[in-house]
Chain A
Amino acid sequence: NPYAGLVSHLRASWLSGKTRPMEYRVAQLEALGRFLDDKKQEILEAAELDMGKPSFEAFFSEILLCKNELNITLNNLSHWMKDEHVDKNLVMQLDSAFIRKDPYGVVLIIAPWNYPIQLFLVPLIGAIAAGNCAVIKPSEISKNTERLVAETLSCYLDNDCFAVVTGGVPETTRLLENKFDYIFFTGSSPVGRIVMTAAAKHLTPVTLELGGKNPCYVSDTCDVTNVARRVAWGRFFNAGQTCIAPDYLLCTIEMQEKLMPALREAITEFFGPNPRESPDFGRIVSDKQFRRLRTLLGSGRVAIGGQTDEAERYIAPTVLVDVQPSDPIMQEEIFGPILPIVVIANMDEAIDFINARPRPLAVYAFSCDSKIVNQVLERTSSGGFCGNDTLMHVTLPSLPFGGIGNGGLGKYHGKFTFDTFSHHRGCLHRNMGLETLNTPRYPPYTQQKLGLLTTTFEVKRRGTCTLL
């Protein structure tokens, strides 16, 4: 077990108690902030090398969003760490009942390649804030970022408590043999299953942030220009390599005809007449992913885009029409800059279409009629929902970010990350006196004692009290 030494070193640090004091956690979090500030250029450059990530996008998702999470955590940490006192009944008035936020111990964070800094750093913020030690396993696919993190993070964080492990599938498999006290995984559903199965051996709780095909319903009553912009933005951000990107569009044939010129216009507005020359459009992360996506272009008919360049791993912002539910592009999460449109007759058909499939990470619905937006919301199930826009629900830290079903389990962002990495321990501190109050519970058991117990312990429904 090549990582046994590392994990036991971290566990010894954990047992020493050094990660518990608030001052320590604040110091480590502030160091993370300095990492983001000092290494901003290197982070942007690595993201560009890894997947042609435009620096505008990289700054937004890898720096700005991370700093927001850091600041929210630093601003609220002492409040979050406090014991939460709860209501007590009659018998316990002199006692103290509270929920304590205990760290778990040594946690493992496995990150994917598409937002390679954000997707380890935001969980790490919560892990540190909650008082844990952590092993970070960045993705080997975004290899420039992986190298940057492996080489520089240790200059900022306490190496006794935080370590970066690099490598691919074999290394991750060996890593997962060790006992961790929590595992946070972002990636694909098949690997999510493997992680959870490995965690089960040690009874390790997990958060799995997975994926799915996020449907985007566009009703007939809507502002086509704005819809096209918002959908195009969400679809083509990071060249489509976003777990919450709108995966496919559902609309009527009439709406499709109206949308097409609007989408074309939005794409041109964003990326110019030749997106390949735009500094604001990304590339596919690897040859394997590029080839997979190029094959998917065969589904339906290309209405916009469709150009590719293997050397650059470039796939143009593409819209496909005449897509059948049985087409290959409708069988897997696309994770690329291709937007298939599936034509449906009406909203009910769209909702049935969505509900016939595994629950996605996000459902999107566009309409000027709020009743339609609400119908789609109420009649579907998904990790999250955004009406009349895409992606934006995950930029609000007060909303939990997570999936359901194949989309994952658990949630994070903001306080939810802190809560994810804390064990909420129910504590009751009783008074040693007033022992007579306890008599009804002790044997010998009698009906009289039972009556007393019932009176002191039961909860009566309001309005059921009868006047004696």
Chain B
Amino acid sequence: MEKMQQIVGRARAAFRSGRSRPLEFRIQQLKALERMVQEKEKEILAALKADLNKSGPNAYSHEILGVLRELALTMEKLPSWAAPQPVKKNLLTMRDEAYIGYEPLGVVLVIGAWNYPFVLVMQPLIGAIAAGNAVVVKPSEVSENTARLVAELLPQYLDKDLYAVVTGGVPETTELLTQRFDHILYTGNSTVGRIVMAAAAKHLTPVTLELGGKSPCYIDKDCDLAVACRRITWGKYMNCGQTCIAPDYILCDPSIQSKVVENIKATLKEFYGEDVKSSPDYGKIINQRHFKRILSLLEGQKIALGGETDEASCFIAPTILTDVSPESKVMEEEIFGPVLPIVTVKSVEEAIEFINLREKPLALYVFSNNKQLIKRVIAETSSGGMTANDVIMHSVVPDLPFGGVGHSGMGAYHGRYSFETFSHRRACLIKDLRWEVVNKLRYPPGSMEMMHL
């Protein structure tokens, strides 16, 4: 109890000192973060390998490249993002100064997840620093090597009081959540998301919740199946399926189901070779608990491909299930593993209805040569974000907001949206003390004639 209160108290005092407000200071901290990522690349990659068995180039492109890019973008754009924004005035305010000022919120909390353990604390941290806040970072204890590394490195490069790292599991996080923050950004699952929001409600703390869900992937009969399946294979099996925006399940016409399986099978060979288990590019399930959870989803299912597992190394082969029943267990929860169920539907209408009967997903995918069909799927469904004719990629467009809707989350970040998430947009109107004659119109005693002026 004492410890959390002290850490947050120190951060708050540091924030109150005002030193995180000047842009020069923020950029200097961001530059330090950049140096950290460049100088400690080896250590970061080693932690990711230990936690998730991610290979070097893989980990670099998924976790480090994105962070460096976000840092460069933020340092570049910060002056323009932070500049007061003049607004359109009306007749009564013509002579006044009216603008929106961007101000820090105060002390913000970033809770990371284990699946992309480095980027999921770094990217929010970058936005929070850029917006001028003090930040408490709580990396996921499940990816323990990365958590330990982040706790070691940040104080070596950043202002120790303003930016603190708290490590630990459920008890520590629960304790942390009793403290008052000015914004909480949480990445994780919906169950804990509810707990975070309820804790935030006690302090009226705004939250950004980056949750999950079952991201559907509809494959139209009219599309280049080879290309579609290639892209889907990439997005589904990267990080061993442990990606919040991975295509969770496929919806397609029964007539193309076996072709889909064939194409994915061919692509898997191309990506991971004949023996997936020995490929340095194929990850592992994070721990025994998730391994067992995913395994249980395979019960009673028709395994068209894969299904091999090895508990000791938390290995699950890239797996495809066919003719899956919508009521089965694998269709109830977010899979978060290398298991791809195919549910057959007879038409795009059926697919849309299927999707809309379920909770709004974080991502939605549709593959088709037919632009009208794509437009229709977009218009008649709702999701955090979506990509047509590919997967994952909407999350790397810097100017698109990244976030969920409904059970997949609330709020958004990435790039400018991170800055805005962690800023208060303050309405400012500066009038002149003269020109009182204009004000007389509004003062009592009032009359309706005055009103109509």
Contacts and interface: CB of A to CB of B under 8 A. Distances in A.
A9 interface: no
Given A385-B426, A428-B397, A443-B271, A398 B385 contact: no
Contact of A227 (B393, B394, B433): B433
A388 B430 contact: yes
Interface string B382-411: 111111111001111111111101110111
Interface of chain A, main secondary structure: mixed
B73 A426 contact: no
A453 B62 CA distance: 11
A59 B451 contact: yes
Contact of A400 (B103, B367, B390, B425): B425
Interface centre among B55, B395, B412, B444 (most CB of A within 10 A): B444
Contacts of A458: 65, 68-69, 72
Contact of B197 (A200, A389, A432): A200
Contacts of A208: 204
Contacts of A382: 426
Given A54-B444, A401-B427, A428-B394, A104 B389 contact: no
Interface in A434-468: 435, 438, 441-447, 449-450, 453-454, 457-462
A353 interface: no
B434 A223 contact: yes
A147 interface: no
A459 B430 contact: no
Contact of B194 (A201, A389, A447, A461): A201
Interface string B263-307: 000000011110000011110000000000000000000000000
Interface string B430-447: 111110100100111111
A352 to B, nearest CB: 11
A345 interface: no
B28 interface: no
A276 B118 CA distance: 66
Contacts of B374: 429
Interface in A362-377: 366-368, 370, 373-374, 377
Contacts, number: 305
Contact of A269 (B442, B443, B450): B443
A112 interface: no
A219 to B, nearest CB: 10
B76 interface: yes
Nearest to B410: A205
Nearest to B451: A59
Interface centre among A223, A432, A460 (most CB of B within 10 A): A432
Contact of B204 (A60, A405, A449): A405
A257 interface: no
A280 B446 contact: yes
A271 interface: yes
Nearest to B180: A405
B18 to A, nearest CB: 8
A89 B397 CA distance: 8
Interface string B180-204: 0010000000100110011011101
Contacts of B402: 426
A444 B433 contact: no
A35 interface: no
Interface in B314-354: none
B232 interface: no
Contact of A441 (B234, B279, B356, B445): B234
A449 B382 CA distance: 35
A386 interface: yes
A423 B403 CA distance: 10
A428 B388 contact: yes
B41 to A, nearest CB: 12
Interface string B60-86: 110001001100110110000000000
A196 interface: yes
A3 interface: no
Contacts of A404: 105, 182, 424, 426
Contact of A99 (B280, B396, B401): B401
Interface centre among A366, A395, A429, A458 (most CB of B within 10 A): A429
Interface residues of A, number: 112
Contacts of A442: 230, 234, 270-271
Contacts of A27: none
B100 interface: yes
B57 interface: yes
Interface centre among A20, A105, A383, A425 (most CB of B within 10 A): A425
A238 to B, nearest CB: 12
Contacts of A227: 433
B224 interface: yes
Nearest to A451: B57
A262 interface: no
Contacts of B56: 445
Nearest to A425: B385
Given A193-B201, A385-B428, A424 B401 contact: yes
Contacts of B279: 443-444
A399 B429 contact: yes
Interface string A57-91: 10110001000000000000000000000111100
Interface in B108-151: none
Contact of B431 (A223, A278, A388, A461): A388
A186 B397 CA distance: 36
Nearest to A404: B424
B204 A64 contact: no
Interface stretch (B88-96, B170-178, B251-259): B88-96
A458 B103 CA distance: 29
Interface in A85-140: 86-89, 92, 97, 99-100, 102, 104-105
21 contacts: A15-B356, A54-B446, A56-B451, A57-B446, A87-B399, A199-B197, A203-B211, A203-B406, A203-B407, A233-B443, A280-B446, A374-B430, A385-B426, A388-B431, A393-B429, A400-B100, A404-B424, A426-B386, A441-B234, A442-B271, A444-B279
Given A92-B397, A193-B201, A229-B439, 10 more contacts: A86-B399, A199-B201, A225-B436, A226-B439, A229-B436, A270-B443, A271-B445, A428-B386, A444-B272, A459-B76
Interface of A: 15, 17, 20, 54-57, 59-60, 64, 86-89, 92, 97, 99-100, 102, 104-105, 181, 189, 192-193, 196-197, 199-201, 203, 205, 208, 210, 222-223, 225-227, 229-230, 233, 269-272, 278-281, 366-368, 370, 373-374, 377, 381-389, 392-396, 398-401, 404-406, 408-411, 423-433, 435, 438, 441-447, 449-450, 453-454, 457-462
Interface of B: 55-58, 60-61, 65, 68-69, 72-73, 75-76, 87-90, 92-93, 97-98, 100-101, 103, 105-106, 182, 190, 193-194, 197-198, 200-202, 204-206, 209, 211, 223-224, 227-228, 230-231, 234, 270-273, 279-282, 356, 367, 369, 374, 378-380, 382-390, 393-403, 405-407, 409-412, 424-434, 436, 439, 442-448, 450-451
What are the 6 closest A-B residue pairs judged by CB atoms, nearest first? A56-B446, A426-B400, A280-B444, A86-B399, A196-B201, A200-B197
